[in-house]
Amino acid sequence: MKVIKEIKPSGKMARLIYEIRDSKNLLVFSADSESSAFLDIYDIKDYSLVFSLKRDKLCYIGELKCGNFVMSYEEGKIEIASLDFATKTLNVVQELEGHGSDVYDVKELSDGKLVSCSNNGEIIFWSLNPALNTYEKFKFLKTHPKEYSSLLEDIERNKLICAPCFDSYATCIIDLQTYEIIATFNDIAGNGGSELYFVNDNIVIDNSAADEVGLFFIDMDKNEIVKHDEKFNDNKSSCFLKLKNENLLCSVVIENKKMNLSGSDDEEEDKNDDKGRTDIQCWEIDETGLDWKLLYTKEKADQYPIFYMTQLSDGKIVTCSNVIKIYQ
């Protein structure tokens, strides 16, 4: 892995990046600690900035199959919006009301419905009214005492898995035929990020933090935990990326007392060279999804935690922290 380009996002920390469908552009979501968030649009050919938009209190943005975007905010607001490249604006076409707190994740399901989760334990399903071309709330779940932060659909089994964030527990599996919770894992603690990943056809890893750092392997056929690797890392794995060759990248935070985890530009902290680092590991996974072999480690890939990684259609790998790094 060789860095071929570094980009400084408008916000202090980049949290999400992806290729916009039917466009030759990248969208970068970055945020400041003051709840100010930014959407930067870059030309994918030379990574030059096309334009930037500011959206206060934005928590998440995703692109829908129809080409619109879904954006979720602090205090429960969800917006459906279109991106106009000619006027360089986001035009809100619908606002969804129903959550009572910060909405951390919104996913479009394979049947066209939306599902959203918030940090007060709410999960809401939204169906599309084709006559009005608007989304309507049709199922509300409130079983978690604290918060949810990550959603992952199992299309083959018609299930949804929801993970909590920070030090909350109770990852759950929802049957997408009945929209009821069919399994709950009270021993998995969330880590505040997107910690759900398929490693083969039916094994999902849940990246746990809090008191039990490690990986929980969930069998989606059996709806049960089939492995808990407490010693996966002595440090903290902040995010994963499954590559097109089926290997798995893992960003690993090597901390010390001086490490700047917030992306702050504090001059006194920046004077310290030994602040910790983030390594990137590459793992080979066997057919069962349970046995991993470490292939290589890229040490000191970043001085901050990497919040998100993605692989572009041309094979390049992108990492998000206080800078965006593009690897060949």
Radius of gyration of the CA atoms of the chain, in A: 19
Region 273-280: mean pLDDT is 74
pLDDT digits (tens, 9 = 90+) for 137-177: 999 988 666 677 889 999 999 999 988 876 667 888 999 99
The SS3 call for residue 84 is strand
Q: Whole-model pTM above 0.85? A: yes
Q: What residue type is assigned to position 300 of the chain? A: K
Poorest-pLDDT segment among 143-157, 249-263, 296-310? 249-263
CB–CB of 240/205 below 8 Å? yes
CB–CB of 312/241 below 8 Å? no
Residues counted in the chain? 328
Report pLDDT for 218: 94
Say yes or no to pLDDT of 275 above 70.
Answer: no
Please report where in the chains the tokens 């790998």 appear, as a residue: 317
Please report where in the chains the tokens 């902040």 appear, as a residue: 238
Helices (H), the chain: 267-270
Q: Which residues pair with 138 in a beta bridge?
A: none
Q: Which residues pair with 208 in a beta bridge?
A: 214
pLDDT digits (tens, 9 = 90+) for 57-95: 999 999 999 999 999 999 899 999 999 999 999 999 999
Report pLDDT for 272: 45
Q: How far apart are alpha carbons 233 and 56 in whole angstroms?
A: 35
Domains and CATH numbers, the chain: 9-236 (2.130.10.10)
Would you give the DSSP letter of residue 132? T
Which residues have a Cβ under 8 Å from the Cβ of 40 and sit 6 or more positions away? 9, 10, 27, 28, 30, 49, 51, 52
Which residues have a Cβ under 8 Å from the Cβ of 264 and sit 6 or more positions away? 12, 33
82 CA to centre of own chain: 21
